[in-house]
Each structure stands twice: as C-alpha cells, then as structure tokens.
Amino acid sequence: MFDWKQDPHRRLNALTGEWVLVSPHRTQRPWLGQVEPQAPAAQPEYDPECYLCPGNARAGGMRNPGYASTFVFENDFAALKLATPVARFDRDGLLVAESEPGICRVLCFSPRHNLTMANMATADLRLVVDAWVEQYVEIGSNPAINYVLIFENRGAMMGASNPHPHCQIWSNSTLPNEVSKEQACQAAWRERRGNCMLCEYAEIEISEGSRLVDENQDFVAMVPFWAVWPFETMVVSRRHLSGIDSLSDGERDGLADILKRVTARYDRLFGVSFPYTMGFHQRPTDGAEHPEWHLHAHFYPPLLRSATVRKFMVGYEMLAAPQRDITPEAAAERLRAL
Ligand code: H2U
Ligand code: ZN
C-alpha cells in the first residue's frame, strides 16, 4: 500500500502547472553542511546608521522625513525606470531583448527600526495594508504599468539589506514569469470549470484541515498542497477578490490580522525572527477585469530544520524540479501547534 506520509511522490502545483517532488523519508538524513550564522541580537528602536529610520540620510543625498507611521519613497537604486526609451532587439529569434519601463518604490512599515510584522500592533499593520492598496492603485493607474508586485524580503538570509521593517514595490509593463504562469493556470481553470481555482482550492483546504495553519473571518492561511519551501504558506482571501484594492474596510483589518498571526507562528517555530520572502499575487493593472485572479500572498521561508539550517535550491532543483522532504501536512501541523 502506498503511504503518502512516507513514500516518494510528486505533487502538481495547480497555480503554476509545475510539479514538486516530495521525499518524506529523507528527513532523517544527517547534516554536516553549511550552518547559517545566528540572527544578530536585538535591534535598537532607532539606528542612526539606518537609511530607513526617520530623519536619516539615504544614499544619493535624500533625507527621510520624521515620519510617524508608514513612509513610501522612490527606490534610489530602482531596477526599473519609467523614462526608459522603447527598444527591441531580435537576432534570428535567438537573441531577443526588449526595453522595460517600470517604477520601484520602498515602503517603510513603521518608524521603529526594531519591529517586524509579527510584533507590530494589528492597528499599525492595518496602516501598512492601506499603504499597499494606495500604492497598488496609484502605480497601477499609470498606463505604462501593467503589473505591480509588492514583496518583502525579511532577514539577512533572504537578502534583506536592512532589518528595518519595510517592503519593496516593483512594477513594470509586462507580466513577470511567476505571475504569467499563475495567470495562465487560473484562466484555463475558469475557462474549463466556470469557477475560480483558488475559491475551489480554499474550500478543499478548509474542509480537509490537514494543511491549515490559521484563519480569521476574511482569510485562510495554509501550507499549500504543492509547497516547495519547508514551511511555505499561502494566505488566501475567503471572498473572491481579484486585487487588494477590492478589500472592504473589515477585510483590510482581516489581512493585517492574518499576516500578524502567520509571522508570529513563524517566529515561534525556531525561536528567532524568521526569515522569508513574501509577496502578493493579484490581477495585472492592465485595465481588464481579470475575474480569473484571486488575491493571495505567498510566504517562502528558507529555514529547514532549525534556525541555522536552510533549504538549498541546488542540484536536482536547479537541473530538474523542486524537491521537499517534510510533507506539507507535517509542516502545517507544526505551525498550527505554535
Ligand atoms: P531590501 O532590503 O529588500 O533589499 O530593500 C531595500 C531597498 O532599498 C533596495 O532595493 C533601496 C535598495 O535599492 N535603497 C534605497 O532606495 N536608498 C538607500 O539609501 C539604500 C537602499
Ligand atoms: Zn531603521
């Protein structure tokens, strides 16, 4: 008899159409590889060296105002710029390049250097949600911009340049790869079944329960059936919404609450400020309605078995397909218990 808890198998990611290899029996293997440095000790409330703290100087000579809640500024090292001339290069369909206009901003969640989503007050996180909505709408209304990606790199392990609570917003005119895969799968689903894929998926997760991590009246958080990262989670709105701009007043509070719940569980898992990359997937801002899109957030945390041992995406992952050891159900059970 095949044992889904123990025997190797692959699972389909319905959102991207890609497969992930699950090898639960490998969790027992020893580790003599790289050990990550322990996260630095507690941070001060204000760091005179921090380029995100209120009143401090940034690179390029700008100075932050003495802000009191959230603060948005144009990224001084923007990866994309609006004033990019149109250009296209194509040599025999093999060497193909295109100019790409865009807008990049940084959003500070709080003036306090030492806070994180997990330990911010829910009312203050709600102000962050409001700022996300405002940015999504404002940047998305630019005719040159068709996709707005809001994402947070948390922790040095995930490449965050600074512990000060902040996220980035990168927006551009074409659909980025990950978004494009999710759009194709959601659109095909809607075409075939006349329904929203993530509405149906969330219902299955709620009724099965084995991968649920947390929930409130507006959102559910689960380790997705097809999770790649050991403690990956996905936060999905209960109501069918194509974008963050359709959240009701109550749902904005609900989003703040679920984000705090999920990140607080993460922090309790290994007793450290948990590193991750998180971000929102939602409808492109190309003016179309996009009923196939269902607002959700992905959390991709790198830690595997302790605060100092991380998952590497190398070898088989780089050359073949992503692979995980601990099952999504086992990961969800641990997060649920915290
Ligand atoms: P990360 O921690 O996710 O790298 O985000 C920090 C961003 O802040 C990064 O994109 C920008 C970097 O370009 N930045 C400024 O815009 N001004 C500065 O003075 C330093 C960093
Ligand atoms: Zn700071």
CB atoms within 10 A of CB 67: 16
Q: What is the pLDDT of residue 40?
A: 63
Q: Which two tokens stand for residue 274?
A: 């948990």
Q: Which ligand is nearest to the CA of 169?
A: 1
- In the reported structure, the alpha carbon of residue 69 is separated from the centroid of ligand 1 by a whole-number distance in angstroms of 19
Smallest-distance ligand from the CA of 275: 1
Choose, from 166, 281, 296, 298, the residue flagged as catalytic. 166
Nearest alpha carbon, ligand 1 atom 6: 161
Domain ranges of the chain: 42-336
Ligand with the closest atom to the CA of 49: 2
CB atoms within 10 A of CB 129: 20
Ligand 1 atom with minimal separation from the 78 CA: 13
Please tell me the predicted confidence (pLDDT) of residue 41: 66
291 near 190, Cβ under 8 Å? yes
**Which ligand 1 atom sits closest to the C-alpha of 160?**
2
Ligand 1 binding pocket, CB closer than 6 Å: 51, 58-59, 75-77, 106, 153, 160-162, 168
Three-state DSSP class for 26? helix
Query: Which of 126, 154, 127 minimizes the C-alpha distance to 275?
Result: 154
Low-confidence residues in the chain, pLDDT < 70:
30-31, 38-41
The H-or-E segment that residue 270 falls in is helix 249-270
204: which 2 tokens? 């299955």
Residue 294 phi/psi, 5-degree rounding, is -125, 120
Name the E strands within 27-124.
Answer: 71-74, 88-91, 95-98, 102-108
Architecture of the structural domain at 42-336: 2-Layer Sandwich (3.30)
Number of helical H runs and strand E runs in the chain: 6, 16
* Residues 336/300, Cβ–Cβ less than 8 Å: no
The predicted pLDDT at position 34 comes to: 73
Looking at residue 327, its pLDDT comes to 95
To test the pocket of ligand 1, the residue of 49, 52, 71, 76 to mutate (highest count of ligand atoms within 8 Å of its CB) is 76
**Locate tokens 């097809």: which residue?**
226
327 within 8 A of 230, measured Cβ to Cβ? no
- Residue 118 Cα, ligand 2 centroid: separation in angstroms? 17
166 catalytic per annotation:
yes
**Ligand 1 atom index nearest CA of 51:** 19
Query: pTM (2 decimals)?
Result: 0.96
Quick one: pLDDT at residue 33?
74
Best of 56, 161, 171 for a ligand 1 pocket test (most atoms within 8 Å of beta carbon) = 161
